[in-house]
Amino acid sequence: MTVDWEKQSQLQEMKFRSLMMRSFLAVCLVCIIFLSSDAVYADCRGCCSWHGGVCCTGGITMCCDGTPLSDTCVAKGCNACWSSSDDGDDGSAYEETVTIKKNSGRP
């Protein structure tokens, strides 16, 4: 029995390329999942930095010291009240109504 080294080499190369393609697709999928998570949509970076950070109090997103969010933070979509908890009965997630307390009358 003769071994066709060229065919064996081509087969190994195809397996390697297939593995690389699957790895690349897996990394892309993880990136897509990460980028579509709630953390991306709740962009509160730089908001309320002099007011103790951003908090969710009674379903209202505001600075932790009670100061309303600035117009810039509201425009960025800053929201600290994202809900990922479930209601405990059937394990289904529920959506919470969220109010964003914004700064009115101040620049």
Q: Is 83 exposed, middle or buried (0-12, 13-18, 19+ CB in 10 A)?
A: middle
> At 21, is the pLDDT very low, low, confident or very high (cuts 50, 70, 90)?
very high
| Helix, strand, coil in percent for the chain, rounding step 5 | 40, 15, 50
pTM: 0.43
Q: Which residues, including other chains, have CB under 8 Å from residue 79's CB and lie 6 or more apart?
A: 41, 42, 44, 61, 98, 100
Question: pLDDT, tens digit, for every residue of 51-107?
Answer: 988 888 888 889 999 999 999 998 888 888 865 443 334 433 334 445 555 555 554
Q: What pLDDT digit, counting tens, does each position of 66-80 carry?
A: 999 999 998 888 888
Tokens 């394990």, residue?
91
* Cα 99 from Cα 106, distance rounded (Å): 19
